[in-house]
Chain A
């Protein structure tokens, strides 16, 4: 096993454990914290894929901004742990197994049809691949329209969050 493989399995199982923690833990705060851990492991995977800029953005935006927002709302609303005690019978676990089966079979069928293609990563990666310079250049030239649309979307997001959350304008 090379160093890269060891790191991949470390990050992969870390991400899987974090995401499982989100689904399995009964306290929403624990879910949020394990999601932060999962995001860090995913950022490690992005570094392995030579997507350094995306790894930084993943940590800054996801683990930083979005999860702080989640935790802030969780603590602001301060719900009594209603999910902790009440354990009524529901079809939710059965539905979960069914959903897992459906999604796995769908994705597995996709894999089977793809099986023959060569899947090895190209060995020599250009030094500039995934750097801030390359991403920035692409954002300002070939992907200028999506970039501007994203900025418009974020502006709409800001305004509508204020409008929705404010009691009286």
Chain B
């Protein structure tokens, strides 16, 4: 039994699940960001697996775009985090409750 597209899709699904679980369980904003990156990478893996499956390079274009979006997101998000830390002296989501009540 050789490798099929399902192997890669299962791996992608598992990685996505790990990222989603991390997103709801962790409290540090930077770690939440890393979990989003894991989920984006899981999507990239599925896209590239389907690109290989259909022998069409368009999937790799999508993955390329996702990487660029992730880079821009990381730049802006980390700038926002630096600002949050300046105001709150903390990066735990429990402390970021200005909108509560």
Chain A complexes with chain B? yes
Binding site for B on A (CB under 8 A): 2, 4-5, 8, 12, 15-16, 19-20, 22-23, 28, 31-32, 35, 38-39, 42, 45-46, 48-51, 53-54, 57-58, 61-62, 65-66, 69-70, 73-74, 76-77, 79, 82-83, 92-93, 95-97, 99-100, 103-104, 107, 111, 119-122, 125-126, 129-130, 134-135, 138-139, 143, 146, 150, 153-154, 156-158, 160-162, 164-165, 167
Q: Is B96 an interface residue (CB 8 A)?
A: no
Task: Assess the A15–B90 pair: CB atoms within 8 A.
Answer: no
Which A-chain residue is minimally distant from B69 (CB atoms)? A153
Report the minimum CB–CB distance from A130 to chain B (whole Å): 7
9 A-B pairs with the lowest CB-CB distances in the bound complex, closest first: A157-B72, A23-B22, A165-B79, A96-B25, A119-B4, A164-B79, A49-B52, A107-B13, A161-B79
Q: Is the interface of B mostly helix, strand, loop or mixed?
A: helix
Query: How many chain B residues touch the partner (CB < 8 A)?
Result: 70
Minimal beta-carbon separation of A8 from chain B (angstroms): 6
Which residues of B line the A interface, CB within 8 A? 2-11, 13-28, 30-31, 33-35, 37-38, 41, 44-45, 48-49, 51-53, 55, 57-58, 60-61, 63-65, 67-76, 78-83, 85-86, 90-92
**New contact pairs (8) apart from A51-B51, A61-B67, A62-B37, CB-CB < 8 Å:** A23-B22, A49-B8, A99-B23, A107-B13, A119-B5, A129-B55, A135-B64, A150-B68
Q: When the two chains form their complex, are residues B48 and A49 in contact, meaning their CB atoms are under 8 A apart?
A: yes
A49 partner residues in chain B, CB cutoff 8 A: 8, 48-49, 51-52
Instruction: State the total of A-B contacts with C-beta under 8 angstroms.
Output: 214
Residue of A nearest to B55 (CB): A122
Residues of A contacting B85 with CB < 8 Å? 77, 79
**Does A153 contact B72, Cβ atoms closer than 8 Å?**
yes
| B85 CB, nearest partner CB in chain A, Å | 5
Min distance, Cβ A44 to any Cβ of chain B, angstroms: 11
Contact residues in B for A70 (Cβ distance below 8 Å): 30, 33-34, 74, 78
